[in-house]
Amino acid sequence: MLFQNARIENAEKTADFRVEDGKFLAFAEKLRPLEGEETVDLAGKLVLPPFIESHVHLDTCLTAGDPVWNMSGTLFEGIECWAKRKDKLSPEDIRQRVRQAVRLYARNGVQFIRSHVDVTDPKLTAMETMLELREELRDVMTIQIVAFPQEGILSYPNGKELLEEAVKMGADCVGAIPHYEFTREYSVESLNFALELAAENDRLVDVHCDEIDDEASRGLETVAARALELGLFDKVTASHTTAMHSYNNAYVLRLMRLLKMSRINFVCNPLVNTHLQGRIDTYPRRRGVTRVKELTAEGLNVSFGHDDIFDPWYPMGSGSLRDVVFLGLHVTQMMGYEEIMNSYKFITHNAARTLHLGESYGLEAGRPASFIVLDAENYYDALNRNAPVLASYKAGKLLSRTKPAEAELLF
Ligand code: FE2
């Protein structure tokens, strides 16, 4: 199958590419159709590698207002709402919501998801169900699962054993939540435990790290130090790191050296953290978003995630990562021309590094023919006009297509 006139990753000139047996066979400025070959004219539209959701909680998504709405919008009322919803949690309930969320993502060009799944549950119901769904949905969505100890590893009964069990069951990544542990000592011990567990079992690590406005929350330095000492490096990701927003600059200067040595990844969740952080401030009120601009400038890898979709903690979300990038650029003040043009990398290449997708991702001959077509000439234009994803192909198979809306002006 031959795709013609694609504008690949903001290129000024168009190019053609051929797909065979689910893989990219060749890219060139012009490729001649073979006899009887099916051709698709992309008419100069933007072609990108598929979007990647690098941080979401699929086990809680699509539960906002059920049974009660979060009236204040705070994290704490969100936890109360979830406690009421948790009674209804069953494998069938999770299956239905996750399938629906995956369809929302799919229509927006997302083909890879890293989902955190709560393992502070003696029955590990969500983990078991998510592992089944990972297999069921494999052809349409690649799902990576993080064993996420929502209520702590040391501060929850049998927290260590539950995390170990989740890894044995087949979780791809080990999580932790140092800022939620009872004490600073527990926080450090929980990180030692999680990173050692990952090293022993050859898993990735993704820590909910310092998601708090407390400038004294310093789980990140422990995550980075252990990543370095255990030789895990970029297998480790620190998600949120919102406390870094509040750190003093002298400390950040010292920390940055360690971060660079550790080569860990970062995931910033601008929608949820601008919404939930800074709630105890009067004015000025903190933005609650980690230092994306500075981390990027230092060569560290940062991606953007949605975090929550229409649940007790975040009442919005339609599975579009465009919204995440759009707000992310505003709140991190990354609105220079090149920054806007290249911002798709937060939800493509950078996220692929975090998820360790390797050669299963990217627009290159020999790799799976997974790509999306946007109704725009370049990503600046796509982002600005909220251009729809016209088509999403995964390993050569068309997963979704969208007809752009037509407006008629009557003046
Ligand atoms: Fe999260």
The pLDDT tens digits of the residues spanning 190-238 come to 999 999 999 999 999 999 999 999 999 999 999 999 999 999 999 999 9
Domains of the chain with CATH codes: 2-49+362-401 (2.30.40.10), 51-357 (3.20.20.140)
Q: CA 75 → CA 63, 98, 313, 379, 400, distances in Å?
A: 15, 22, 6, 33, 35
Please tell me whether residue 171 adopts helix, strand or coil conformation. Answer: coil
C-alpha 55 to ligand 1 mean position (Å)? 6
C-alpha 304 to ligand 1 mean position (Å)? 12
What integer best gives the mean pLDDT of the chain?
97
| pLDDT for 83 | 86
- Kindly tell me the burial class for residue 278, based on how many C-beta atoms sit within 10 Å of its own C-beta (0-12, 13-18, 19 or more): buried
What residues are neighbours of ligand 1 (ion), with CB under 5 Å?
307
pLDDT digits (tens, 9 = 90+) for 105-121: 999 999 999 999 999 99
| pLDDT for 170 | 98
The secondary structure element, H or E, covering residue 393 is: strand 389-394
Positive or negative, the CA dihedral 119, 121, 122, 125 is: negative
**Cβ atoms within 10 Å of 101's Cβ, excluding its own:** 23
Q: How confident is the model at residue 76 (pLDDT cuts 50, 70, 90)?
A: confident
Q: CA 302 → CA 94, 298, 335, 345, distances in Å?
A: 29, 11, 16, 9
Q: How confident is the model at residue 86 (pLDDT cuts 50, 70, 90)?
A: confident
C-alpha 72 to ligand 1 mean position (Å)? 20
C-alpha angle 92/95/240, rounded to 5°? 130
C-alpha 107 to ligand 1 mean position (Å)? 23
Inter-residue contact 370 to 391 (CB < 8 Å): no
Inter-residue contact 157 to 145 (CB < 8 Å): no
Tokens of 347: 């939800």
| pLDDT for 273 | 96
pTM: 0.98
C-alpha 56 to ligand 1 mean position (Å)? 6
pLDDT digits (tens, 9 = 90+) for 321-370: 999 999 999 999 999 999 999 999 999 999 999 999 999 999 999 999 99
C-alpha 366 to ligand 1 mean position (Å)? 34
Q: How confident is the model at residue 79 (pLDDT cuts 50, 70, 90)?
A: confident
Q: How confident is the model at residue 75 (pLDDT cuts 50, 70, 90)?
A: confident
Q: How confident is the model at residue 260 (pLDDT cuts 50, 70, 90)?
A: very high
| pLDDT for 136 | 98
Query: Which residues are designated catalytic?
Result: 211
C-alpha 145 to ligand 1 mean position (Å)? 13
Range from 43-47, 70-74, 174-178 carrying the lowest mean pLDDT:
70-74
Q: What is the largest CA-CA distance in the chain?
A: 69
